[in-house]
Amino acid sequence: MILLQTSALTMRFAGLVAVDAVDLAVDAGSIHALIGPNGAGKTTMFNLISGLLPPTSGAISLDGADITALPAYARAGRGMARSFQNIRIFASMTVLENVLTGLHASIAPGLAAILLRLPRFRRQEIDAVSRARAALDLVGLATRAGDRAAALAYGDQRRLEIARAIAGNPRLLLLDEPAAGMNPAESSALADLIRRIRDAGTTVLLVEHDMGFVMRLADRVTVLNFGRRIADGAPADIRRDPTVITAYLGAKVAARLNAA
């Protein structure tokens, strides 16, 4: 079953086609990687899928429903969550509050319940805190719950972003370079975490430059270059695809590989 589908998705900036008629199909329950050289249009794809940019043309559907015109907040309400390539945590809030904010789409006590402190409000808050703590636990930040988010180290901030994104049990999780700046031990722990997230029922679409990471983790890989989809398939096939090798590693490396 396909959870996320883009059809001829196109994003044109002034004088530049960042995403050029890209078809992408992400199977429910899979870990799907979107790779490509710098500037290939991966983050732009994420911005289109999560609703931060309106596409120039093309369509996006989630679970069969057309969501192309839905604003970002409504896509979150339909079970989409994401992290950002350049970390965007709420720096002055605590770690726990960051994750609670990630639960916004699933908390809707209503103004009356809030002002009157109705039982519904208390129940939802208690429930939200326990879900947020569970998410922090999963990423290994449980002991930092009360700290200001700005006080976390870079790698922990990345983990916090993931906790914030998964707290509401999204159907689709978009991770933009989650392993950036991590050492091998950290990135292998991250790979385990992503597998666990998938096993808990969340479909994962991720952008990553670390090829080893992608090849070990992904069920399927889509390759972009200059905004175009140049390949799509199982990791083993992608690794051998000459167009990918040429685009991704550069023509020089491809020649060297051929010579070897």
Partner 1 sequence: MPVWLDDFLWTYQNVVYALGVNGLLALSMYVVLSVGQLSLGQAAFMGLGAYSSALLTVKLHLPFAIVLPASTIAPLLFALAIGTPTLRLSGVYLAIATIGLGEVLRALYINIDFVGGALGISGIPERAGLVSIYGLLILALLGFWLVGRSAIGRAMEAMREDDVAAATMGVNVARYRLGALLTSAVLAGLAGALSAHISSFIGPNEYGFEPAVTILSYALLGGIGSPFAPVIGAWILTLLPEMLRGFADLRLVFNGVIIVLAVLYLPNGILPWAMRRRAA
Ligand X SMILES: Nc1ncnc2c1ncn2[C@@H]1O[C@H](COP(=O)(O)OP(=O)(O)OP(=O)(O)O)[C@@H](O)[C@H]1O
Binding site for partner 1 (CB under 8 A): 50-52, 71-77, 81-82, 84, 88-93, 97, 100-109, 111, 114-115, 117, 121-122, 124-126, 128-129, 164, 168
The sign of the CA dihedral 143, 145, 148, 149 is: positive
Nearer to partner 1, 35 or 80 (CB): 80
Q: Where are the beta strands (DSSP E) in 16-152?
A: 16-27, 31-35, 57-62, 65-66, 80-82
| Choice from 3, 18, 48, 80 touching ligand X (CB under 6 A) | 18
Binder among 33, 41, 43, 190 for Mg ion (CB under 5 A): 43
Is residue 85 close enough to count as binding Mg ion by CB under 5 A? yes
Contact (Cβ atoms closer than 8 angstroms) between residue 139 and residue 159: yes
Tokens of 170: 């999204």
- 40 touching ligand X, by CB under 6 A: yes
Name the DSSP letter for residue 148: B
Q: In this structure, what are the phi and psi dihedrals at residue 165, rounded to the nearest 5 degrees? A: -75, -35
Does 42 engage in binding with ligand X (CB under 6 A)?
A: yes
Interface segment toward ligand X; rule CB under 6 A; list 13-21, 92-100, 106-114, 153-161? 13-21
Out of 1, 38, 64, 153, the residue judged to bind ligand X by CB under 6 A: 38
Buried/exposed code over 206-221 (b: 16+ C-beta within 10 A; e: otherwise):
bbbebbebbeebbebb
The one-letter code for the residue type at 20 is D
Interaction with ligand X in 76-115: which residues (CB under 6 A)? Answer: 85
* Beta carbon nearer to Mg ion, 41 or 170: 41
* Total residues binding ligand X (CB under 6 A): 12
158 vs 182: CA distance, rounded Å: 9
18 binds, among partner 1, ligand X, Mg ion, none (CB under 5 to 8 A by kind): ligand X
For position 83 contacting Mg ion by CB under 5 A, the verdict is no
What is the rounded CA–CA span in Å between residue 5 and residue 25? Answer: 5
44 interface partner picked from ligand X, partner 1, Mg ion, none, CB below 5 to 8 A per type? ligand X
Q: CB-side exposure of 115: number of CA atoms within 13 Å?
A: 3
DSSP, collapsed to helix, strand or coil, labels residue 13 as strand
Per partner kind, with CB cut-offs from 5 to 8 A, the member of Mg ion, ligand X, partner 1, none near residue 13 is ligand X
Alpha carbons 156 and 208: distance in angstroms, whole number: 18
Q: Select 43 or 124, whichever has its Cβ closest to ligand X.
A: 43
Chain contacts with ligand X (rule: CB under 6 A)? 13, 16, 18, 36, 38-44, 85
Chain contacts with Mg ion (rule: CB under 5 A)? 42-43, 85
